[in-house]
Amino acid sequence: MKVLVLGGAGYIGAHTAKALAARGDQPIVVDNLSSGRRDFVRWGPLVQADIRDGAALDAAFAAYKPDAVMHFAASIEVSIGEREPLAFWDNNLAGSISVLGAMQRSGCRRIVFSSTCAVYGEPERLPLCERHVRKPINTYGRTKLAVENVLEDAARAGDIEHAALRYFNASGASPDGDIGEEHEPETHLIPNALKAAAGLGGPMQVFGSDYATRDGSCVRDFIHVDDLAAGHLRALDRLAGRGGSFACNLGTGQGVTVMEVLDAVETVVGRPVPRVMSGRRPGDAPELYADTRFARDELGFAPARSNIEQIVEDAWRYHGPRWRSAAAA
The set of catalytic residues is: 140
Q: Say what angle helices 258-269 and 308-328 make with each other, to 10 degrees.
A: 60
Whether the Cβ atoms of residue 285 and residue 122 lie closer than 8 Å to each other: yes
Contact 93, 148 (CB under 8 A): no
Distance CA 92, CA 85 (A): 10
Which residues fall within 8 angstroms of residue 238, CB to CB, at 6 or more apart? 163, 244, 246, 298, 299
The number of angstroms, rounded, from the C-alpha of 78 to the middle of its chain's C-alpha atoms is: 13
> How far is Cα 264 from Cα 201, in angstroms, rounded to an integer?
19
